[in-house]
């Protein structure tokens, strides 16, 4: 079940007159999320035809006039990543050719983000490549949630509004009335994210898991920097893919004396065998948002799914009104 969290700031909902130039369309990646965003804004999802030819080619057609409109295309580039990315580019191109005034690609989840730099010779920086593809397709702006690394914003030559799911996750954690908290980063690269998270949890102490990755989707956890004994540990990451890293971290926290362990992440990628690993009782709860659709076979007892739709909807409206987005997170 998806739970909607209360936003920690007053919403700025639009009036009927303000809707004239604002249009929302959804790709096939996550239509229910787009419908939630539309409900928050009091809009209808724009009509669109999406189909696939027998050889795998995709086809997109916008079925209403968008001439002179501000168009927002909601499409997380989740599995199957290549199809959803290509569909997004077709949507952008269709809107550009239909004379939309401004086209914003709304990416609740930005795929291909993990290769954001060269770590070995002769490899692609896919985060930059995808940024180029979206820009060259004709997008005027990007709205993304919890990018794998903040530097990806600089890969775009168009404005990027980077929003965070932390208000939704924090709002839920506060309802749990957890005591003696310690926020844990699963690796050194996530320290900034965990530190910001801890600061908003009444300056909770921070711990770091020292991890050495031997190959993609394979991690070896070594030790914990910080005190977790007898405390409630909250592991914070941007995504859970195969869950190897976060489950190893959870087991290590238990071994080091943590009384309870919670896992928090924005993006529930959940590639096999993630569900099997996460349902083994390491965590009290695994708390994620609905930026990526979770299939019925991806559900398990400890899973809590929070809705990020209101947060995305508020960001869309603030962009449309040319008001501050960053103030939402202060």
Task: Rounding to the nearest 10 degrees, give the CA dihedral for residues 86, 93, 155, 24.
Answer: -90
- Residue 211 is a catalytic residue: yes
Alpha carbon of 27 to those of 30, 47, 53, 320: distances in Å?
Answer: 7, 11, 16, 20
Q: Closest Cα partner for 77 from 27, 125, 146, 117?
A: 27
**Which one is catalytic: 51, 200, 211, 229?**
211
Q: How many Cα atoms occupy the beta-carbon half-sphere of 65 within 13 Å?
A: 3
**Rounded distance, CA 125 to CA 132, Å?**
11
Considering only CA atoms, which of 70, 71, 3 is closest in space to residue 36?
3
Written as one string, the DSSP assignment of 89-152 is: HHHHHHHHHTT-SEEEEEESS-TT-S--S-SSTT---HHHHHHHHHHHHT-SEEEEES-SSGGG
| Cα–Cα distance measured from residue 29 to residue 34, given in angstroms and rounded to the nearest whole number | 10
Q: Give the separation between CA 189 and CA 141, rounded to whole angstroms.
A: 27
Catalytic residue numbers, as ranges: 211
């Amino acid at each position: 079940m998806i739970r909607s969290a209360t936003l920690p700031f007053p919403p700025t909902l639009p009036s009927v007159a303000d809707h004239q130039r604002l249009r929302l369309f959804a790709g096939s990646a996550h239509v229910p999320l787009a419908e939630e965003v539309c409900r928050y804004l009091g809009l209808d999802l724009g009509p669109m035809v999406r189909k696939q030819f027998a050889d795998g080619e995709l086809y997109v057609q916008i079925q209403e006039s968008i001439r002179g409109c501000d168009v927002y295309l909601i499409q997380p580039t989740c599995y199957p990543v290549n199809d959803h990315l290509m569909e997004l580019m077709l949507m952008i191109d269709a809107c550009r050719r239909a004379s939309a005034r401004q086209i914003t690609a709304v990416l609740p989840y930005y795929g291909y983000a993990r290769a954001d730099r060269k770590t070995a010779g002769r490899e692609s920086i896919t985060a930059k490549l995808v940024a180029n593809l979206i820009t060259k397709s004709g997008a005027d702006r990007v709205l993304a949630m919890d990018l794998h690394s903040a530097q990806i914003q600089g890969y775009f030559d168009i404005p990027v509004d980077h929003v965070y799911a932390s208000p939704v996750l924090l709002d839920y954690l506060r309802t749990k009335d957890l005591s003696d908290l310690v926020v844990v980063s699963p690796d050194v690269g996530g320290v900034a994210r965990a530190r910001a998270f801890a600061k908003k949890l009444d300056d909770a102490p921070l711990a770091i898991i020292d991890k050495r990755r031997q190959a993609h989707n394979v991690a070896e956890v070594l030790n914990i920097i910080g005190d977790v004994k007898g405390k409630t540990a909250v592991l914070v990451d941007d995504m859970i893919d195969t869950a190897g890293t976060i489950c190893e971290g959870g087991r290590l926290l238990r071994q080091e004396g943590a009384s309870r362990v919670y896992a928090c992440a924005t993006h529930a990628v959940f590639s096999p065998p993630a569900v099997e690993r996460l349902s083994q009782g390491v965590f009290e709860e695994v708390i994620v948002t609905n930026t990526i659709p979770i299939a019925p076979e991806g559900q398990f007892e400890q899973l809590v799914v929070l809705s990020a739709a209101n947060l995305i909807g508020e960001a869309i409206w603030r962009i449309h009104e040319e008001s501050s987005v960053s103030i939402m997170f202060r």
